[in-house]
Structure 1
Amino acid sequence: MRLPKTAHTSRPWRIHEIAGDFQVEDVWALPTPGGPDDLAHLVDQFAQGKGEPIDSPVARALFAIRWKLGALFGWDKPDGGVGGRLTSLRGRLPADLREGPKGPDLTAAPFTSVFQTHDEWAAEMGNRTVHGVMHIGWVPDGAGGYRGQMAVLVKPNGRLGALYMLGIKPFRYLGVYPALIREIGSEWRARAGQRAAGSAGAAGAGG
């Protein structure tokens, strides 16, 4: 479910200290019900994602078109991304976040982790059009449990980046995000047994 931007901006996330010059593009509630300490499971799910994480013909076609355009116009060359044209947000981290867990990089998408806390994880990507951040928070669901919340933050690269974000907006809402959210929820449910086994093992070791 898509949420208002205030669902992200109203919370005291640490990412606000680091990416204040980025704009909040989208905020989504994730169908990942759990307990107060389950963000790490969701981060692991993202990090271990499949090579083709979105099970939708429309979404796959849109991504194929995007990569072809990127190759044609040179949007995705290494020197245009983080570590090239763009400086990693890790350079902005305050000492406590810099010295804390970094979090895993994604294997199925061009995102590298910036930081991870008990209830917050941020990963970044970049090319010649935008510098983007995927922010995953762990929030109360209003019914006594918790769930994930995904925010997408972007910093467009001039007019090219602004036009790029405007051009892909309808495709994101119609073909990409709905399929992505469904896939996240489906994999979360599929991994429920693993989470339960891990919790039982931890309880047994503690006893």
Structure 2
Amino acid sequence: MLLVFSVYAEDDRYDSEFLENYAKINLIPEVQRVPGVGDANVLGTDYSMRIWLKPDVMAQYKLTPMDVTAALAEQNVEAAPGQFGELGNQTYQYTIRYKGRLQEAHEFEQIVIKSLPNGELLRMKDIADVELGRLTYNFINSVNGHPAVSCIVYQMPGTNATQTISEIEKQLEETQKTMPPGMKIDVSMNANDFLFASIHEVIKTLLEAFVLVFIVVYIFLQDMRSTL
């Protein structure tokens, strides 16, 4: 793991779903093209249509979650309808067009769950709240109290980590200039920090060892010229 950076909005104008989607579409592809980067991904989830059932309303109509699942399976499908008049002695040939899977929240709201005794149709919007949200809500990212999304960058084997991190930081600086107003990038972990800290400790240890050896030799020889 080379680097971890987060994307957030200083004024909280963007929610986590928007930040995750923006990072996947605009930031990650740019970072993946940097020489030396093996992979980069977002610690988040994709957009998903969330259907929040109302148990009290469902109980009134004697419905179960399985009934809702069955309605979704029947009315939200991908199919190839075909054509009319393709093989017969028809003057005209018609192609059947089918929209396919539903995409918008208002389309899911119109799914028919069942027909009522009075002839009315019970639709999804009558028994549930439908919204476009996250696939899962198992974790939440934040930076200084602001909603955020974190991204992890991995190194390609055999490459120079220090040089790769430097190129990534340059790319992030360039990307920052074209980001929406208020959106910021914060680098929370950099492998160079550990590398430089390790080098500093090695140099410090060598200097301490040199001083100790010099003192020990001087004590035994009792002569500065011989010690040097």
TM-score in same-fold range (> 0.5):
no
Give the TM-score normalised by the residue count of structure 2.
0.26
Instruction: Look at both structures and tell me which one has the larger radius of gyration over its CA atoms.
Output: 2
Q: Is the strand fraction higher in 1 or 2?
A: 2
Greater RCO, 1 or 2 (C-alpha within 8 Å, sep 6+): 2
Using structure 1 for the length normalisation, give the TM-score: 0.28
